[in-house]
C-alpha cells in the first residue's frame, strides 16, 4: 500500500498558483521530476492565464476557469505528443502562470534634461516625470519574446525597457509640439494622450498593453526657476520708479519712529518727503484742465515758475530720485552722495560721477585755489 501511494504522489494532479507578491508577472509551476497526470485539475484564477510548453514549444493557453486535463481540451499538446487515439498516460510539460492584472504606479522620468528651443526664453532644458500602467495582453508572445525560460519574471526586469520607450516618445512629442514652457502645464493631458498613442503599438510587440500613461510634472533646472522667480517678482512690482518712491516713503516712516536716528536722517527724510510731495503735486496738476488749475489758484493764472533742476542718483545699486539740490546737499552731508556717485538729469546723454557735473559745485562746494609758493629765505637772515 505504501508503494502504491508513493507511485501515486509522483504525479501532479492539482495545478494552481497563488501570487504572494505584487510584482511577479510570470511564474513557472514545476516539481522536480514530477509528471502531470492525465485527468489532473488545473485552476486558473481571474487575472491569470496558464501556458503549457512542451519540448520548448508553446502549446495550449488556458484562460480563467477550472479544467480537467484531457486530450480533448489540450488539442495542441495532444497533436505534439501524437495522441491521435486519446492516449491518457502521464506526461511532462512546463506550466507558466502569467499574471494579467494591471501593474500600477510604475514611475518614469527623463534621466537627463531635454534640450528645447523655447519661443520666449530661447534654448532651454526641461525635465519630466510621470507614471504609467501596463498589463500582459498576449501571454504567448510575452513568454516567447521577453521571458524565455525565466521561472520567475518580475516587473523590475521589464520596466527599464518600457521607460526607455516612454522617454524617447515623450521627447519627440514635446519637441514637435513647440509649446512654450510656461504653457506646458495646461497641456499635460494632450502630452499624455499623444505619447500613449505612440507607445501602445510598440508595447504590443512585447505582448503588453499600455493601459494608462500620465505626465505629472514638467520642470526647469533650479537656476532657471530661480531666475524665472525673479522675473515674476519684477512683473509684480511693476513701475520701478513708483516702487523706489514707495520704498523711500517706508524709509521715512522708519526714520520717524527711530529716536536715535539723529538730525541728519531726519533732514534727509524731510527732504525726500518734500521731493515726493512736489512730484505728487505735479502729477495732480497734470491731471487737471486749465480751468481747474485756474480755480484752484483763485482766479488769476500766474506764469509758470521755473523748474528746479533735479537729478536721479544711484543709491545702494538702485536708481533713486529725482532729488533737487537741497536734498542732494543733505545726502552729501550724510555721506550717501559722494563725488563718485553716478547721477543723471534730463538732457544728459549718460550717467556721470557727481564730481564731474558743474551743477554739483554748489553741493560739494568749490575747491579753493592752490596756495601761493613760499618765498625763499633772505640770505644772512
Residue 212: strand pairing partners: 133
Q: Which of 39, 66, 99 is the last residue of a domain?
A: 99
pLDDT of residue 139 exceeding 90:
yes
Crossing angle of the two packed helices 240-256 and 262-286, in degrees rounded to 10: 140
Q: What is the pLDDT of residue 6?
A: 47
Asked if 244 and 341 sit in the same domain, the reply is yes
Asked if 251 and 356 sit in the same domain, the reply is yes
Asked if 95 and 111 sit in the same domain, the reply is no
Q: What is the mean pLDDT of residues 11-37?
A: 83
CATH code of the domain containing 359: 3.30.1490
Q: What is the pLDDT of residue 3?
A: 47
pLDDT of residue 282 exceeding 70:
no
Q: What is the pLDDT of residue 257?
A: 66
Q: What is the pLDDT of residue 277?
A: 53
Asked if 20 and 113 sit in the same domain, the reply is no
Question: Cell 497641456 identifies what position?
Answer: 187
- Cβ distance 212 to 135 under 8 Å? no
pLDDT of residue 194 exceeding 90:
no
Between 88 and 118, residue with greater pLDDT: 118
Mean pLDDT of the chain: 78
pTM: 0.56
Q: What is the mean pLDDT of residues 209-224?
A: 86
Q: What is the pLDDT of residue 7?
A: 45
Q: What is the pLDDT of residue 18?
A: 92
Q: What is the pLDDT of residue 249?
A: 67
pLDDT of residue 288 exceeding 60:
no
First to last CA, the chain: 153
DSSP character string of 250-313: HHHHHHHT-GGGHHHHHHHHHHHHHHHHHHHHHHHHHTS-HHHHHHHHTS--PPPPPPPPEEEE
- Cβ distance 121 to 181 under 8 Å? yes
Q: How many structural domains comprise the chain? A: 3
Name the pLDDT band for 292 (thresholds 50, 70, 90).
low
Percent of the chain with pLDDT over 90: 24
3-state secondary structure of 354: helix
**Stretch among 159-163, 215-219, 246-250, 309-313 having the lowest mean pLDDT:** 246-250
| Integer Cα distance of 219 and 206 in angstroms | 31
Q: pLDDT tens-digit profile of 46-103?
A: 999 999 988 888 889 999 999 998 888 888 888 877 766 666 677 888 899 999 999 9
Between 360 and 161, residue with greater pLDDT: 161
Q: Identify whether 291 is part of a domain.
A: no
| Integer Cα distance of 169 and 175 in angstroms | 10
Asked if 93 and 111 sit in the same domain, the reply is no
pLDDT of residue 215 exceeding 50:
yes
CB pairs under 8 A, 24+ apart, for 196-204? 198/169, 198/172, 198/173, 199/165, 199/166, 199/169, 202/165, 202/169, 203/134, 203/162, 203/165, 204/137, 204/138
| Integer Cα distance of 4 and 88 in angstroms | 19
Q: What is the pLDDT of residue 8?
A: 47
Asked if 137 and 183 sit in the same domain, the reply is yes
Asked if 110 and 189 sit in the same domain, the reply is yes
Q: Identify whether 288 is part of a domain.
A: no
* Among candidate residues 81, 90, 76, the one with its CA nearest the CA of residue 39: 90
Name the pLDDT band for 122 (thresholds 50, 70, 90).
confident
| CA 77 and chain centroid, separation | 55
The parent domain of residue 25 ranges over: 2-99
Q: What is the mean pLDDT of residues 287-294?
A: 56
CATH code of the domain containing 144: 3.30.479.30
Q: What is the pLDDT of residue 50?
A: 95
Q: Identify whether 379 is part of a domain.
A: no
Asked if 76 and 107 sit in the same domain, the reply is no
pLDDT of residue 201 exceeding 50:
yes
Between 25 and 123, residue with greater pLDDT: 25
Q: What is the mean pLDDT of residues 125-138?
A: 92
Asked if 118 and 212 sit in the same domain, the reply is yes
Between 229 and 150, residue with greater pLDDT: 150
In this structure, how many other beta carbons lie within 10 angstroms of the beta carbon of residue 218?
Answer: 21
Asked if 149 and 64 sit in the same domain, the reply is no
Asked if 68 and 93 sit in the same domain, the reply is yes
Q: Identify whether 380 is part of a domain.
A: no
Amino acid at each position: 500500500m505504501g508503494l502504491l501511494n508513493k507511485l501515486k504522489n509522483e504525479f501532479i494532479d492539482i495545478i494552481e498558483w497563488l501570487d504572494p507578491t505584487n510584482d511577479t508577472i510570470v511564474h513557472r509551476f514545476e516539481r522536480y521530476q514530477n509528471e502531470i497526470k492525465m485527468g489532473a485539475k488545473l485552476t486558473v484564477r481571474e487575472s491569470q492565464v496558464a501556458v503549457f510548453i512542451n519540448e520548448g514549444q508553446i502549446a495550449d493557453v488556458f484562460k480563467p476557469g477550472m479544467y480537467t486535463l484531457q486530450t480533448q481540451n489540450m488539442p495542441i499538446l495532444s497533436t505534439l505528443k501524437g495522441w491521435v487515439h486519446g492516449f491518457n498516460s502521464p506526461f511532462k510539460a512546463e506550466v507558466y502562470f502569467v499574471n494579467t492584472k494591471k501593474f500600477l504606479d510604475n514611475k518614469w522620468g527623463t534621466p537627463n534634461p531635454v534640450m528645447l528651443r523655447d519661443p520666449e526664453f530661447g534654448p532651454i532644458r526641461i525635465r519630466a516625470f510621470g507614471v504609467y500602467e501596463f498589463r500582459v495582453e498576449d501571454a504567448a508572445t510575452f513568454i516567447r519574446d521577453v521571458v524565455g525560460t525565466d521561472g520567475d519574471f518580475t516587473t523590475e526586469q521589464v520596466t527599464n525597457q518600457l521607460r526607455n520607450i516612454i522617454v524617447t516618445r515623450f521627447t519627440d512629442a514635446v519637441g514637435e509640439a513647440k509649446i512654450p514652457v510656461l504653457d506646458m502645464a495646461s497641456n499635460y493631458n494632450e502630452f499624455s494622450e499623444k505619447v500613449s498613442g505612440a507607445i501602445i503599438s510598440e508595447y504590443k510587440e512585447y505582448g503588453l498593453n499600455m493601459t494608462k500613461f500620465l505626465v505629472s510634472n514638467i520642470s526647469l533646472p533650479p537656476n532657471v526657476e530661480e531666475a524665472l522667480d525673479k522675473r515674476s517678482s519684477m512683473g509684480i512690482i511693476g513701475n520701478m520708479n513708483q516702487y523706489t518712491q514707495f520704498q523711500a516713503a517706508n524709509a521715512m516712516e522708519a526714520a520717524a519712529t527711530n529716536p536715535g536716528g539723529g538730525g541728519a536722517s531726519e533732514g534727509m527724510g524731510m527732504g525726500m518727503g518734500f521731493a515726493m510731495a512736489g512730484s505728487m503735486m505735479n502729477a495732480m496738476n497734470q491731471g487737471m484742465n486749465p480751468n481747474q488749475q485756474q480755480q484752484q489758484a483763485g482766479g488769476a493764472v500766474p506764469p509758470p515758475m521755473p523748474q528746479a533742476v533735479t537729478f536721479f542718483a544711484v543709491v545702494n545699486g538702485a536708481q533713486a530720485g529725482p532729488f533737487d539740490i537741497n536734498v542732494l546737499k543733505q545726502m552729501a552731508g550724510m555721506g550717501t552722495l559722494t563725488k563718485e556717485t553716478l547721477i543723471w538729469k534730463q538732457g544728459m546723454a549718460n550717467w556721470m560721477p557727481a564730481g564731474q557735473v558743474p551743477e554739483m559745485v554748489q553741493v560739494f562746494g568749490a575747491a579753493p585755489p592752490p596756495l601761493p609758493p613760499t618765498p625763499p629765505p633772505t640770505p644772512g637772515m
